[in-house]
Structure 1
Amino acid sequence: MDQIKARTIEIFLPTGDSKEVSQAIITNESIKIIYISKSEIENQKKRISKIQGCYILVGKDDDGSDLAYIGQTEDFFQRLNLHKKEKEFWDGVYVIQNSSDSFDQAHLNFLEKLMIQEAKKVKNYKLENVKDGNNFSISESKENECYLYFSTIKTLLKTLGFDLFVPNVEEFEINEENKFYFKEKNNNFSGEAIFENDKLIVLKNSIVSNEENVKDNYIQYLKFRNKLINEGVIQKNNENLIFIKDYPFNSPSVAAGVISLKSKNGWEVWKNIEGESLDKKYRQK
Structure 2
Amino acid sequence: MSQPFSLKIFVATGDPDGLRIVERSNWIGKALVFPRGLLPSIKQRDEFAQTGIYILIGPRPDADGEMMYIGEGDPVKPRLESHYSNKDFWTRAVFFVAGPGHLNKAHVQFLEAQLIQRAKDAKRIRLENIKAENEPTLSEADRADMMVFLDHMLSMLPVLGISAFEIARTNTTESQKLTKLFCSGKGLKAEGYESNQGFIVKTNSQASGAITPSMRDQMRGILDLREDLISNGVLSKAGEDYVFTQDYSFSSPSTAASIVLGRSANGRTEWKDQKGRTLKEIQTLQAEA
Bin for the TM-score computed over the shorter chain: 0.7 to 0.9
Of 154-163 and 169-178, deviating more is: 169-178
Of 220-229 and 14-23, deviating more is: 220-229
- Provide the C-alpha distance between the structure 1 equivalents of 2:13 and 2:52, rounded to a whole number of angstroms: 23
For residues 154-186 of structure 1, the C-alpha deviation after alignment (integer angstroms, 9 at most, x for no partner) is: 1222332321322344368335961111123xx
- Provide the C-alpha distance between the structure 2 equivalents of 1:94 and 1:70, rounded to a whole number of angstroms: 10
Match of 2:153 in 1: 153
CA shift for structure 1 position 118? 1.6
1:42 counterpart = 2:43: no
Amino acid at match of 1:269: E
Relative to structure 1, the CA distance from residue 10 to residue 258 in structure 2 (aligned partners, 3 Å threshold; closer, same or farther) is same
Report 1:41-120 matches (<5 A).
41-47=39-45, 48-62=47-61, 63-120=63-120
Q: In the comparison of the two structures, how many residue pairs are matched?
A: 279
Match of 2:136 in 1: 136
SS of the equivalent of 1:30 reads: coil
Correspondence for 1:17 among 15, 20, 23 = 15
Contact 1:208 1:243 in 2 (8 A): yes
For residues 184-237 of structure 1, the C-alpha deviation after alignment (integer angstroms, 9 at most, x for no partner) is: 3xx24322111235953322322111115x343774458614532224343323
Runs of 4+ that moved beyond 4 A? none
Contact 1:221 1:254 in 2 (8 A): no
Relative to structure 1, the CA distance from residue 200 to residue 154 in structure 2 (aligned partners, 3 Å threshold; closer, same or farther) is closer
- Provide the C-alpha distance between the structure 2 equivalents of 1:81 and 1:270, rounded to a whole number of angstroms: 47
For residues 249-276 of structure 1, the C-alpha deviation after alignment (integer angstroms, 9 at most, x for no partner) is: 4543443333223344433332111222
Contact 1:221 1:261 in 2 (8 A): no
Unaligned 5+ runs, structure 1: none
- Provide the C-alpha distance between the structure 1 equivalents of 2:55 and 2:12, rounded to a whole number of angstroms: 20
1:29 counterpart = 2:22: no
CA shift for structure 1 position 120? 1.5
TM-score (norm 1): 0.85
Relative to structure 1, the CA distance from residue 181 to residue 221 in structure 2 (aligned partners, 3 Å threshold; closer, same or farther) is farther
Contact 2:74 2:105 in 1 (8 A): no
CA shift for structure 1 position 116? 1.4
Unaligned 5+ runs, structure 2: none
- Provide the C-alpha distance between the structure 2 equivalents of 1:260 and 1:254, rounded to a whole number of angstroms: 10
Amino acid at match of 1:55: Y
Match of 1:261 in 2: 262
SS of the equivalent of 1:201 reads: strand
Match of 1:195 in 2: 194
Aligned residues with identical type, % of pairs = 26
Of 200-209 and 50-59, deviating more is: 200-209
CA shift for structure 1 position 135? 5.1
- Provide the C-alpha distance between the structure 1 equivalents of 2:114 and 2:4, rounded to a whole number of angstroms: 25
Relative to structure 1, the CA distance from residue 16 to residue 167 in structure 2 (aligned partners, 3 Å threshold; closer, same or farther) is farther
